[in-house]
Structure formats: structure tokens, C-alpha cells
Amino acid sequence: MEKIAIVGVSPVGASIGLALMDRRLSNTEIVITSGDRNIVSQVSKLAAANKTTTSMRDAVEDAHLVILDAPVSELREVMDTIGPYVESGAVVTDTSNVKGPVLKWSEELLPRDTNFIGGYPLIKSPPESIEVANAGIFRGARYTITPKDDSDQQSIRTVVGLVEAIGASPVFLDPAEHDSYAAAMHHLPMIMSSAFVTATAGSEGWREMHMLAEAQFNTFGRHASNDPLDNEAVCLANPDSIVHWVDQLILELYNYRNEIKEVDNDGGDALLDRFVKAWELRAKWEADAVVPREGAHLPSAGESMMSAMIGEKLAQRLRGAGKDDEERRTTYVRRNR
């Protein structure tokens, strides 16, 4: 019997367990381990694994695939703990959003014949607690895979198989490329959130101003409630990329600042243009229209039947309706002031 061990474990790891259990993989045992008995109890209630345990050794021994689902601040210690017990030739992957340091730790702390392949699920709405872990969060999501230059091809296929088994689509990235993008998409929002909280809640007027803090403060300040050790760990693990994106943000904020200050001189056109650009960029991401849909259209069997029944010209117009709708959803229509 094959064995998959999930070590950690966060709501994402519990969701991976649920997704694998839903697949009812033949001749495969799913084991979830955590040093926190409360987490083990929660995972057991969810039936996110065939077996749960507080012993990392018991979980990873004889495991063919080990999924490390721990925060970056704890990941090195987890590797150090399981290193002596990982099965010879086992494939090990992770779910962290930093890759460079993690790959180095794997070389240092895991057995030489272990095959480490980095991974990270890109989930738009991750569950906030293990109690609401959900197998469906991976369906249609992208999942980055960051192998080393000398990674074994079969090990890469094993991780690709995992990704596809839970319903996600693999995206291959170089570790340095991944960390540069992750600094912008994952770490910069955390720094922005923390800076927003310290700038407002740390101000002299907070005693009175806090009465106006509601949904927006809660939403934008959410990442400031992360464990400070985790926030510090990701910054120290990827400092150069994070500093680059903080500089880009400072420049953009300065542009907004100047255009707000000069609004009386140009009627606010430059400021409005900047907000319109932000609106449209966000809308394109939300509509999954960041990359233009170009190239020759290859009709599906259903489209060919539609053409035969209602005529090619009308069929072409109907096929183009989706593109027109996409443009409407991603192009801001200016109203009169």
C-alpha cells in the first residue's frame, strides 16, 4: 500500500487531505500529522485522512509522498525533525509561498536520495480555519511547481499527479522567478496591511478614530493579524524581491499623493485616469482576461453543430458575444461628473 503524509497542518493541507480522500485512491493511505492535538482532533472530525497522528515519525515513515504544509517560520524545523525518518527515494513537496530558502533547507536537512519538488497552490479564496477546509478550493486553480535543475523526472510527475488529482492545474516556475512574483502577490499585501494598521491604529487620533473602523479596516488590516513570526520569516527569506516591490509601491503611492494634491490644477483628470487604470486592471484579473485570447478559433463539435443549424454568420456573432461581454466587464465606462 502506498502512503501519502501531510505534515503541518493548515486549512490548505486539510483541504488537500479532503480532496485526496474524495478521490478514493486505490491502495493508498492518507495520513495527516501535527504536533498540535487540537488540530489533529479537528482533522479527524473532518475525515480528511485515513489516519491522524501527533507523531511526525510515524506519519512519514514508509511514506512515498510527503507534503509539508507548515508556515515558513516552522518549515526548517519540520524538515530537521522528519529528515532521519523519510523513506529512501520518497518525494517531498511543500505548500509554502517562498521557494529559494526552502530548496536549500531540503538539500541540507533531507536525505540525499529524497526528491524535493517545491509547490504552492494559488487559491483565490482559501479557508480561514481547518473547520471550514474544503476540497473544492483547488478545482480550476493554478498550482505552481518549482523543481530543482537536477530534479528526477518521475518525482516531478508524482507532484503533477498530486496537483491534478485535487483538481488544480500545474504551472512550472523557476524558484527565483517564483519568489519574485510571490513577493509582489503574497508578501507585499502583508506589509501593506501591517503598515496600514500601524499608520492608523498607531496614530494619536486612534482613540476617537477607531469608532469609524468597520469592514474596510477589517478587510485591509486582515494580514496584520497573521502570526508576526510568520510575517518576519517570509520577509527574511526573500528580502531582495520584497524590497523591490515595496519601492514600486512607494513610487505608486507618491504618484497618487501628488495627483490628489494637484487636483485643483488639472480638474482631477490625472487622478481619475489612475483610478480607471486600477479599476480596469482589477477587472481583467477578475474576468481571467489578463492574457488576450488571440489566434485562430478552432470550433468545438458543439459549435460546428450550431453553425449547421443556425448559419455560420449568426454562429460567429454568438461566439463573439463572450468576447464583447469580457470587454464590457473590463472597460470602465466614464460617467459625467
pTM (global) more than 0.75:
yes
Residues 144, 120 contacting (CB under 8 angstroms): yes
End-to-end CA distance of the chain: 68
Instruction: Please name the residue ranges forming H helices in 54-152.
Output: 56-60, 72-82, 100-109
Secondary structure (3-state) at 250: helix
Q: Where are the domains of the chain?
A: 2-173, 178-246, 262-337
CATH value of 178-246 in 3.40.718.10, 1.10.3660.10, 1.10.1060.10, 1.10.3720.10: 1.10.3660.10
Angle of CA points 170, 101, 10, to nearest 5°: 60
CATH value of 2-173 in 3.40.50.300, 3.30.1360.120, 3.40.50.720, 3.40.50.10490: 3.40.50.720
d(C-alpha 46, C-alpha 173), whole Å: 33
pLDDT digits (tens, 9 = 90+) for 128-167: 899 999 999 999 999 999 998 889 999 999 999 999 999 9
Q: How far is CA 240 from the centre of its chain?
A: 20
Q: What is residue 320's predicted lDDT score, i.e. its pLDDT?
A: 56
Neighbours of 311 (CB within 10 A): 11
Q: Which residues in the chain show pLDDT less than 70? A: 266-268, 293-324, 336-337
**Run of H or E including 293:** none
d(C-alpha 107, C-alpha 33), whole Å: 23
Q: What is residue 100's predicted lDDT score, i.e. its pLDDT?
A: 92
d(C-alpha 230, C-alpha 63), whole Å: 28
**What crossing angle do the helices spanning 239-261 and 269-286 adopt, rounded to 10°?**
140
- C-alpha grid cell, residue 94: 511543500
Q: What is residue 324's predicted lDDT score, i.e. its pLDDT?
A: 67
What residues form DSSP beta bridges with 36? none
Identical fold, 2-173 and 178-246: no
Q: What is residue 221's predicted lDDT score, i.e. its pLDDT?
A: 94
Q: What is residue 303's predicted lDDT score, i.e. its pLDDT?
A: 46
Give the full edge-to-edge strand order of the sheet including 65-68.
51-53, 28-34, 2-8, 65-68, 91-94, 115-122, 142-146, 169-172
Residues 130, 14 contacting (CB under 8 angstroms): yes
